[in-house]
A and B are shown apart, each in its own frame.
Chain A
Amino acid sequence: MANTVNVNVHHVTRIEGHGNIVVNATDGKIEKVEWQVPEAPRFFEAMVRGRSYEDIQTIVSRICGICSITHSLASTKAVENAMGIEVSEQADMVRILMHYSEQLQSHVLHVGYLVSPDLFGLPSVVPLAAKAPEVVLAVIRLHRLANEWSDLIAGRTTHPVTLTPGGLTKFPTEKELRNLQERLKGCVGDLTAVAEAVLSVAGNIPDFTRETEYVSLKQDHPPTYTFYHGDITSTDYDGTVAINDWQTVANEYVSDQSTAKWTKWNRPSYTVGALARFNNNGQLLSPMAKDVAKTFGLEMGCCNPFMNNVAQLVEAVHVVETSIAMIDELLTKGIKPEKVKVTPKAGKASGCVEAPRGILFHEYEFDSKGNCVGADICIPTNQNHAAIQEDFEKFVPEILDEGEDAIRLKMEMLVRSYDPCVSCSTHMLDVQFTK
């Protein structure tokens, strides 16, 4: 029957969470369109209660294997804000370098391993590696470089160990920084190759637009395309909101179709992530990143969620170009040894950074001994759920006559475009013996 559609993408696994996609339509009449998030809630906040301020970062770094540096930085900044701890300019710059390594790591992995197969019309990266091995190898080289960059500055590829309230326990040497800088300069060819490969199939990026509020950090002093400093802004909001007031932005609420909390600010939903940062701060990108955006026709004000992945490519170029310049600055000033001394005190404050997939809020309260008495974490993926639902409601009527398979694929592509974090806390094997 024409335009009778039943799409039910359910992923039943033992522990790892996934979103479900449900579409029911009869004779062209849509009865149900839902983005359901049945993931078991993860109460990491409860795990940090009673723990010392010194232990918080180690625990929260395990929330996620992809954004472990981001969670570590958000929590460390919150501790510093709560206790009034100062951080040196040198430590601040090295932390930003650390954070950039994770942006590159996550963005190339997402665009290369998850999004590119869609654009090339393939089910996963494995057949892509057979069809376009040079592209996959370039992605892997970039990912490897980003991992080794994290390793150098964070002390480990995932779950960093060099961060501490007040600074860092270990700084890279000037020789290590020079070596890293050379490698970053050398990876521009691979970045360009990946961007060209994606551009060659960019015609397969769905043409879909929905007027959207985009929320991200904004830094005015000095004006920076920021992932780390600044306050909160949106494309609907003239000005900024202080980090400690993030709850007035997120306005978390419970939706019947999800176990995860949803958020809204000036509209029924808002979006966070690379496209949000681009829409709020795009004029501050590095020159080469601006060129890449231009090649793809990506302009500020873009409301096509699929273009988030192009914005991720643009940001991958930006963090590499910016890091090369930052290392020059660090080397000019010279790396000086630092000793961090912290006296714990009572306080409550928030810390905020941009995860690769969007703005992340951590809030903690400590007693006078520095033990945690309260915590609240608001992750970017939860901030995107309501927007995904609204996208579905507008997108499905536009593609309803394309057949169930095409609808299912395009809706999965839409979810992927947000680069969601829905299953990162566990990675166990599930096997059957065949021999």
Chain B
Amino acid sequence: MKKATVVLGLGNPLMADEGIGVHLIERLTEVAQRCPDVDFVDAGTGGMSVLHLIEGRRKAVFIDCAFMDEAAGTLRRFTPDEVRSRKVLAHQSLHEADLLKILVLAEQLGQCPEEVVIFGIQPEAVEMRQGLSASLSEQTEAYLAQILAELGV
């Protein structure tokens, strides 16, 4: 049975701050017992698979690395209708993905949760290495507190 709320961590931990969503999901999974109605999922870079992970839920919360013209490490909470995507997809490959476009498709198919929240975190560096930059790792506890507050914890 799917739980009413799903929290999805997106990104790649091999690409420095791009993996922030996955790092935070690992930490949230450790406290999952405090949120009995919430599934925590490491969705990695599965792209379109997001569609299936949110289907049938009341609420979906995404945690992802996001370029937002903010200082590195800044976390912003927003909903899809508060932003415009600047990503240009080449449509050459399955491997490219734009979360906001996936949400449009989910909406069109009537499979989008009634509430969608995105926590975007501005990266300091997106490059090939494991581990987060200091400006993000220093704020991990603050990020977790904000996300847990969203979940009513």
List A residues at the B interface (Cβ < 8 Å): 9, 11-16, 18-19, 42-44, 46-47, 59, 62-66, 68, 106, 109-110, 113-114, 123-126, 129-130, 133, 136-137, 140, 143-144, 147-148, 156-159, 412, 415-416, 419-435
Q: Give CA–CA (A219, B2) in the complex, Å.
A: 41
Assess whether B109 is in contact with A137, with CB atoms less than 8 Å apart.
yes
Residues of the B chain whose Cβ atoms lie less than 8 Å from the Cβ of A62: 12-14, 44-45
The answer on a CB contact under 8 Å between B93 and A158 is: no
Given the known inter-chain contacts A65-B47, A425-B12, A428-B64, please indicate yes or no for A124 contacting B81, CB distance below 8 A: no
CB < 8 Å A-B pair total: 198
Contact B92 A158 (CB under 8 A): no
**Do B101 and A126 touch across chains, with their CB atoms under 8 A apart?**
yes
Residue among A137, A144, A157 with most chain B CB within 10 A = A157
Q: Which residues of A contact B98 (CB under 8 A)?
A: 429
* Given A42-B128, A429-B118, also A19-B85 (CB < 8 A): no
Q: Which residue of B lies closest to A15 (CB)?
A: B126
CA distance A136 to B48 in the complex (A): 13
State the CA gap A385–B83 with chains docked (Å). Answer: 36
Task: Verify B45–A427 contact, CB threshold 8 A.
Answer: yes
Question: Which residues of chain B in 64-103 are interfacial with respect to chain A, using CB atoms and an 8 Å cutoff?
Answer: 64-69, 78, 81-88, 90-101
Please indicate which of the listed interface residues B18, B94, B97 has the most CB atoms of chain A within 10 Å of its own CB. B94
- Bound-state CA distance A15–B98 (Å) is 13
A147–B94 CB distance below 8 A: no
Q: CB distance B100 to A431 under 8 Å?
A: yes
Instruction: State the CA gap A12–B111 with chains docked (Å).
Output: 32
Task: Knowing A47-B128, A126-B105, A136-B109, say if A431 contacts B86 (CB, 8 Å).
Answer: yes
Q: Which of B29-37, B50-58, B135-143, B145-153 contacts A (4 or more CB under 8 A)?
A: B50-58
B104 interfacial by beta-carbon distance below 8 Å: yes
Q: B110-143, CB under 8 A of A: which get 1 and which 0? A: 0100000010100100101110000000000000
B4 interface contact, C-beta 8 A: no
Contact of B64 among A68, A125, A420, A429 (CB under 8 A): A429
> Complex: how many Å from CA A59 to CA B45?
13
Cross-chain contact of A430 among B44, B55, B67, B95 (Cβ < 8 A): B67
* Contact status B100-A422, CB under 8 Å: no
Interchain CA distance A156-B52 in the complex, whole Å: 13
Q: Does B42 contact A (CB under 8 A)?
A: yes
Residues of B within 8 Å of A, CB-based: how many?
58
| Bound form: Cα–Cα A431–B88 in Å | 11
| Complex contact B82–A129 (CB within 8 A) | no
Q: Which of B78, B82, B92 contacts A19 (CB 8 A)?
A: B92
Cα A137 to Cα B45 with chains together (Å):
23
Q: Is B10 an interface residue (CB 8 A)?
A: yes
Give Cα A46–Cα B69 distance, bound, in whole angstroms.
31
A106 and B93 CA atoms in complex are apart in Å by: 11
* C-alpha gap A148/B52 in the complex (Å): 9
- Given A126-B105, A427-B12, check contact A412 B45 (CB 8 Å): no
- A147 and B49: CB pair below 8 A? yes
Contacts of B96 in A (CB 8 A): 16, 18, 422-424, 427
Residues of A within 8 A of B92 (CB): 11, 18-19, 412, 415-416, 420, 422
Contacts of B118 in A (CB 8 A): 429
CA distance A18 to B95 in the complex (A): 10
Which of A12, A429, A435 has the largest number of chain B CB atoms within 10 A? Answer: A429
User: Which 4 pairs between the two chains have the least Cβ-Cβ distance?
Assistant: A65-B45, A424-B95, A158-B46, A429-B66
Q: How far is B131's CA from A47's CA once the two chains are assembled, in angstroms?
A: 12
Is there a chain A Cβ closer than 8 Å to B38's Cβ? Answer: no
Residues of B contacting A133 with CB < 8 Å? 109
**Which of A16, A110, A158 is close to B44, meaning CB atoms less than 8 Å apart?**
A158
Residues of A within 8 A of B45 (CB): 62, 64-65, 158, 424-427
Closest residue to B67 on the A side, CB-wise?
A430
B28 part of interface (Cβ distance < 8 Å)? no
Inside 8 A of A422's CB, which chain B residues have their CB?
92-93, 95-96
Bound Cα distance A19, B91 (Å): 11
